[in-house]
């Protein structure tokens, strides 16, 4: 500041101070403030001037420079238009000189008279204490005749100037001191706000800021539902300090706590140094993306709050840090976790991959028998025809034409070499039952020397499941055997079944069944060490069992007594009434004529006709010691082994 400006301020107080009228209660007042170690605190300087307009003023105050450090004097609105403002701020004092107008003019610049305080300036001081409780109050005191606005200048008193009169303390100016109350800097816990992707671990870091060395702490967090707390751990910085006690608690998916004590006992000095330190890591997971729920657009982004919680534990353990054996409550700054769908992961998840078209074929039919297909181009398995109660063999076949190219990059010597197969079939368990045995005699498996073939089955309610596994070269020495390609169907195995009822049924090739096991099995062939689907429903893949439903009878039992009303077995049903029935059928008048229910039974000589010879055959058997009649005769009623045109329409059939 130049000497002229200083002179104006000093002169104002000296010249105008010569007149000393009686004044009322004008006041310069310092306010109060609060802060923590390191804070800059503002103290207001106000003026109340009921005695008249103020033309200028001088302010001078001091404080303990070991506790407060002067920073600045900031002009207030009351002196915003002043011509001359001269501040001085030092570590332990502050001085302010104000002259509202220094040049003559038509309108005077003043601080208008007021009975209410107006803000002259704000004194800025920095807190140098305390670094630990308790709080400290530091006075800021008006002082006269001690400080100046420039080094070497005259010491100044606190005054205001009204009507060219200088008014100081001795003239009635009220000087009200101020103060600053200082507390130890409060520690702070801050949890970070990480960003991550669904289905992946996301770590949130807790950072502690402390004005003093810390002997221990408790940090406890609660998170929103939708994410799951999976781990709580001290930070690398804390772990490196070798704390003697570490408590890591997860109370639920949404709550957890970390407790640290640096020294439990003894004289060792271990602390977390004052300042800012990462102290803990809380790790969270979320449900992974799924094709069903999240394709193709992904899961909407979401934000989950992480909140410090003072109510966790039993007993309750609030968030604290320990300094000099005393627990301190930190300022708590909460955080969030923001999750979204990873676009690359979503693309891979939702990409539609079409499986290769099945070009290898499976079929089922009669064991050891093939027939030309409808075009006559290839041979296919023959259908199966069985009778109720009889056993039969189900043949399982494959076809792999050499014209089929599975992979154009595959070496020629392996491109058509089947290394193994898995086959999965279903059948009607109410119509047939699997006997659990099989044979490879005469099949391609026998021809190439298949080393491993297994089968298991299980009836699951009305549906039976059959699983077959084939590995051609399964044991050393590995000679490279394989199932060859073929334009026609080649038989793999024959499986033993029994027909239970008169119901026809269908064998189907169905992916994903388990049979007697637990692993789902698909219809696949291994070629070139890769799996290739086999189609089993497109070409003669399903075989329908056609059940024969022929009538049962006893040969010679023309009146059908064994069936109708005389329970008997075999030839005991043939008696004198039967040749009579034959003669009555052939020669009796209409009103007395016998109508046989089963002409097959009346054909005693099995020549395909019913005539007098049949009556004589029965009589010869009964009375001339003739030979037994042809079957069915010696057993229970049965099916004609040599069926003909006569039929047995009125008799009992095998499926009644």
- Domain-by-domain residue ranges, the chain? 3-183, 188-349, 360-547, 552-639
* Dihedral pair phi/psi, residue 404, rounded to 5°: -80, 125
Q: Is the pLDDT of residue 3 over 50?
A: no
Taking CA atoms, 229 is separated from 60, 159, 282, 301, 392, in Å, by: 59, 66, 7, 19, 62
Using one digit for the tens of pLDDT, what is the confidence trace for 278-300? 999 999 999 999 988 999 999 99
Look at residue 637 in the predicted model and tell me its pLDDT: 75
- 637 burial via Cβ count (<10 Å: 0-12, 13-18, 19+): buried
Higher pLDDT, 407 or 28: 28
3-state secondary structure of 278: strand
Residue 649 — very low, low, confident or very high, per pLDDT cuts 50/70/90?
A: low
Summarised one tens digit per residue, pLDDT across range 606-617 is 998 999 999 999
Q: Report the share of the chain in percent with pLDDT over 90.
A: 62
Six-digit token string for 166: 């200088």
Domains 3-183 and 552-639 share a fold: no
Q: What is the pLDDT of residue 569?
A: 47
Q: What is the pLDDT of residues 127-168, one digit of tens each?
A: 998 877 788 999 999 999 999 998 888 999 999 999 889 999
The pLDDT assigned to 130 comes to 87
pLDDT band at 24 (very low <50, low <70, confident <90, very high): low
Is residue 12 pLDDT above 50, yes or no? no
Give me the chain's average pLDDT, please: 88
Helix axes 577-587, 612-623, angle to 10 degrees: 170
Residue 573: which pLDDT band, with cuts at 50, 70 and 90? confident
Give me the pLDDT at residue 7, please: 38
> Which CATH architecture does the domain made up of 3-183 adopt?
Sandwich (2.60)
Residue 485: CB atoms within 10 Å: 19
Residue whose C-alpha is closest to residue 257's, from 308, 220, 285, 227: 220
Question: pLDDT tens across 69-127, in order?
Answer: 999 999 999 999 999 999 999 999 999 999 999 877 667 899 999 999 999 999 999 99
d(CA 140, CA 528): 93
pLDDT band at residue 354 using 50, 70 and 90 as cut-offs: low
Q: Are 123 and 140 in contact (CB under 8 A)?
A: yes
| pLDDT given for residue 655 in this prediction | 57
The four Cα atoms 575, 576, 577, 579 give a dihedral, to 10 degrees, of 100
More confident residue, 365 or 107: 365
Specify the pLDDT at position 25: 85
CATH number for domain 188-349, candidates 3.40.50.2300, 2.40.340.10, 2.60.40.680, 2.40.50.1070: 2.60.40.680
Which range among 8-12, 203-207, 410-414, 570-574 shows the weakest confidence by mean pLDDT? 8-12
What beta strand segments (E) does 309-353 contain?
A: 320-323, 326-328, 331-333, 335-340
Model confidence at 635, pLDDT cuts 50, 70, 90, reads low
When pLDDT is averaged across residues 339-354 and rounded to a whole number, the result is: 87
Residue 568 has pLDDT above 90, yes or no: no
Is residue 148 classed exposed, middle or buried when 0-12, 13-18 and 19+ CB atoms within 10 A define those classes? buried
Q: Is the pLDDT of residue 467 over 60?
A: yes
State the pLDDT at residue 480. Answer: 83
Whole-angstrom distance, CA of residue 129 vs CA of residue 181: 10
Q: Which is nearest to 320 in space by CA: 220, 238, 212?
A: 220
Q: Give the pLDDT confidence of 302-329 residue by residue, as tens digits.
A: 999 999 999 999 999 999 999 888 888 9
CA atoms within 13 A on the CB side of 318: 9
The domain 552-639 is placed in CATH, from the list 1.10.3190.10, 1.10.1660.10, 1.10.3720.10, 1.10.1330.10, at: 1.10.1330.10
pLDDT category, 492, cuts 50, 70, 90? very high
Record: fold of 360-547 = Immunoglobulin-like (2.60.40)
The Cα 367–Cα 365 span in angstroms is 6
pLDDT for position 544: 56
Tokens of 55: 């033309």
- Alpha carbon 562 to its chain centroid, in Å, reads 72
Of 253-262, 407-416, 585-594, give the range with the top mean pLDDT.
253-262
pLDDT at residue 4 above 50?
A: no
CB 162 within 8 A of CB 110: no
pLDDT tens-digit readout, 384-425:
887 777 789 999 999 999 888 888 888 888 889 999 999 999
Query: How high is the pLDDT of residue 570?
Result: 52
Q: Identify the DSSP state of 445.
A: H
Q: Is the pLDDT score of 545 beyond 90?
A: no
Q: Give the whole-angstrom CA distance, residue 55 versus residue 161.
A: 5
Letter string b/e over residues 380-416, b meaning 16 or more CB atoms within 10 A of that residue's CB = bbbebebebeeebbbbbbbbbeeebebeeebeeeebb
Asked if 179 contacts 140 with a C-beta cutoff of 8 angstroms, the reply is: yes
Q: How far is CA 468 from the centre of its chain?
A: 36
């Amino acid at each position: 500041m130049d000497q002229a400006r200083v002179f104006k301020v000093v002169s104002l107080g000296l010249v105008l101070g010569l007149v000393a009228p009686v004044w009322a209660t004008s006041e310069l007042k310092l306010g109060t403030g609060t802060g923590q170690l390191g804070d800059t605190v503002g103290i207001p300087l106000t003026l109340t001037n009921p005695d008249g307009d103020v033309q200028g003023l001088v302010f001078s105050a001091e404080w303990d420079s070991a506790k407060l450090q002067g920073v600045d004097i900031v002009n207030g609105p009351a002196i915003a238009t002043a011509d001359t403002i001269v501040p001085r701020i030092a570590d332990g004092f502050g001085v302010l000189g104000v002259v509202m107008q220094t040049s003559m003019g038509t309108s005077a610049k003043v601080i208008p008279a007021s009975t209410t305080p107006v803000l002259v300036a704000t004194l800025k001081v920095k807190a140098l204490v305390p670094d630990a409780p308790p709080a400290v109050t530091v006075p800021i005191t008006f002082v006269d005749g001690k400080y100046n606005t420039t080094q070497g200048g005259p010491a100044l008193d606190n005054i205001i100037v009204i009507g060219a009169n200088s008014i100081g303390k001795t003239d009635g100016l009220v000087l009200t001191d101020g103060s600053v109350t200082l507390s130890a800097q409060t520690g702070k816990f801050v949890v970070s706000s990480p960003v991550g992707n669904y289905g992946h671990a996301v770590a949130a870091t807790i950072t502690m800021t402390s004005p003093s060395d810390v002997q221990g702490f408790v940090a406890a967090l609660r998170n929103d539902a939708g994410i799951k707390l999976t781990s709580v751990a001290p930070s690398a910085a804390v772990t490196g300090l070798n704390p003697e006690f570490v408590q890591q608690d997860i109370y639920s998916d949404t709550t957890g706590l970390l407790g640290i004590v640096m020294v439990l006992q003894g004289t060792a000095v271990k602390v977390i140094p004052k300042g800012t330190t990462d102290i803990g890591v809380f790790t969270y997971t979320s449900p992974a993306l799924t094709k069903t729920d999240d394709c193709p657009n992904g899961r909407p982004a979401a934000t989950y709050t992480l909140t410090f919680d003072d109510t966790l534990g039993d007993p309750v353990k609030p968030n604290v840090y320990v300094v000099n054996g005393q627990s301190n409550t930190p300022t708590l700054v909460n955080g969030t976790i923001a999750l979204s769908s990873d676009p690359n992961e979503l693309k891979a998840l939702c990409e539609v991959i079409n499986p290769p078209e099945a070009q290898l074929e499976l079929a089922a039919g009669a064991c050891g028998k093939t027939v030309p297909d409808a075009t006559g181009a290839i041979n296919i398995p023959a259908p199966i025809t069985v009778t109720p109660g009889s056993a039969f063999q189900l043949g399982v076949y494959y076809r792999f034409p050499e014209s089929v190219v599975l992979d154009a990059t595959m070496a020629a010597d392996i491109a058509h070499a089947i290394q193994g197969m898995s086959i999965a079939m279903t059948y009607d368990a109410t119509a047939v039952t699997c006997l659990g045995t099989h044979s490879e005699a005469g099949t391609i498996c026998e021809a190439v020397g298949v080393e491993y073939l297994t089968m298991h089955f299980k009836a699951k309610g009305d549906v039976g499941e059959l699983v077959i596994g084939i590995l051609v070269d399964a044991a050393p020495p590995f000679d490279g055997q394989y199932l060859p390609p073929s334009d026609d169907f080649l038989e793999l195995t024959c499986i033993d079944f029994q027909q239970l009822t008169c119901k026809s049924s269908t064998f189907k090739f169905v992916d994903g069944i388990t049979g007697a096991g637990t692993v789902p099995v698909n219809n696949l062939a291994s070629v070139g060490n890769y799996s290739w689907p086999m189609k089993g429903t497109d070409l003669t893949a399903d075989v329908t069992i056609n059940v024969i439903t022929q009538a049962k009878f006893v040969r010679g039992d023309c009146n059908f007594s064994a069936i109708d009303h005389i329970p008997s077995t075999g030839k005991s049903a043939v008696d004198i009434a039967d040749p009579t029935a034959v003669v009555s059928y052939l020669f009796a008048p209409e009103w007395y004529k016998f109508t046989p229910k089963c002409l097959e039974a009346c054909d005693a000589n099995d020549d395909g006709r019913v005539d007098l010879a049949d009556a004589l055959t029965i009589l010869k058997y009964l009375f001339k010691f003739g030979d037994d009649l042809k079957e069915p005769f010696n057993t229970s009623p049965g099916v004609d082994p040599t069926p003909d045109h006569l039929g047995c329409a009125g008799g009992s059939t095998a499926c009644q």
